Amino acid sequence: MRSISLWAAVAATVASVVVAAATTSRAAEPEIWVQGAGATFPAPLYKKWIDAYTKSHPGVSITYDAVGSGEGVSRFVTGSVDFGASDSPLTEAEVARVTRGVIAIPGTAGMIVAAYNLPGLTGELKLPRDVYPDVFAGKITRWDDPRIQAANPDIKMPKRNIALVARLDGSGTTDAFTQHLAAVSEAWRGPTLKPGRLVNWPGTAMLARGNEGVASRIKISEGAIGYVEYGFAKRLGLPVAALQNHAGEFVRPTDKAGQVALAEGKATRAQDLRLLTLDPDSPQAYPIVTFSWLLVYGEYKDGRKGEALTNFVTWGLTEGQVLGSDLGYLALPPPVVSRGQAAVAGVRF
């Protein structure tokens, strides 16, 4: 009898330990899971947001897959994620497929740069506005092309071929970049070349996935030039060209030059947050900037998830903006932040 009682006591103790461990495990697990996917352009910033936000909100887990704007939009439209991200606005056809409604909110902004790899080049490379569109169109194929040399009289341009690097995947960065090219050059207004998330690049172009993939390919390819969000070039130490803007000035990608360009952003329609700045007029403006949009649904059936997501987005629009400067992003202008907050407040859950 004493043996049976002993084993009963042991069993009870083990059971209580198991229950306590399970309870502790459940308490340690996040109560709310939020999944997002989309653009690689803002990915380093969004991941920094997530790290900072979830530390102060341990009951919430947020993940973000940097799969490119094209795939991110596809996942958002089909409802396989809780939020998406894209560097180009959704089309009317894409919006129409989302029965829960779509709210596109600028989350951050940045500059798209022409990064290059020319060992031994001394001085600042300048690319006129009638030159860099032709470089990416495959019409200018040599670094010592007379038009490049004329813009850089104090630099001896190398006698070598240009190795073009571009995006393989559907990309909002590509869309924003080529929309700018189309605004300044007839060569990019079709039918062979036209703006979009996917582009029929010249056959000699090297293609890579994501901003990080393009930047890495440029880094290892002498004679290369490609387009990436400024922060990716900055992190890899890639030199970037000074581009000629609408006013005829050669401007480097600085925070001030980017903010001047953003201030000229125009809505695609009244009260719209899909702001575009295709070819800013100011002499101080860097010519290629873009907002990057967070895509949220107009309605969430899971109220706790909807509340957690809207709180996170609101935090990103305010406290999260200060985390972007070191990564090469541009803080959103205050009027854009205010309109974004108002849009978030309209989410139903």
Pick the CATH number of 32-108+292-344 from 3.40.630.90, 3.10.20.740, 3.40.190.10, 3.40.50.150: 3.40.190.10
The rounded distance, in Å, linking the Cα atoms of 114 and 239 is 9
Residue 115 in 3-state DSSP? strand
The percent helix, strand, coil of the chain (3-state, each to 5) is 40, 20, 40
Range of weakest confidence among 8-12, 40-44, 58-62: 8-12
Closest CA to 117 of 235, 252, 226: 226
Per-residue confidence (pLDDT) for residue 31, from 0 to 100: 87
The rounded distance, in Å, linking the Cα atoms of 109 and 227 is 16
Cα 332 to Cα 56, 130, 255, 263, 316: the distances in Å are 23, 30, 11, 10, 11
Q: Quick one: CA dihedral 96, 99, 101, 105, positive or negative?
A: negative
How long is the chain? 349
| 8 Å CB contact between 64 and 85 | yes
Residue 341 has pLDDT above 70, yes or no: yes
Percent over 90 (pLDDT), the chain:
82
Cα-based torsion angle of the residue sequence 45, 47, 52, 57 in order, rounded to the nearest 10 degrees:
130
Q: pLDDT per residue over 168-190, tens digit each?
A: 999 999 999 999 999 999 999 98
Strands (E), the chain: 32-38, 60-66, 83-86, 102-117, 126-127, 163-167, 206-208, 224-229, 242-244, 250-251, 266-267, 275-276, 289-297
| 8 Å CB contact between 268 and 89 | yes
Residue 44: how many CB atoms within 10 A of its CB? 21
Domain 111-276 coded CATH 3.40.50.150: no
For the CA atoms of the chain, what is the radius of gyration?
24
Per-residue confidence (pLDDT) for residue 266, from 0 to 100: 62
**pTM as predicted:** 0.86
Per-residue confidence (pLDDT) for residue 106, from 0 to 100: 94
H or E segment to which residue 231 belongs = helix 230-236
* Band (123; pLDDT cuts 50, 70, 90): confident
Q: Where are the domains of the chain?
A: 32-108+292-344, 111-276
Mean pLDDT of 203-209: 94
| 8 Å CB contact between 97 and 215 | no
Q: pLDDT per residue over 233-288, tens digit each?
A: 999 999 999 999 999 999 999 999 999 999 887 654 434 566 678 999 999 999 99
Task: For residue 208, give the DSSP letter.
Answer: E
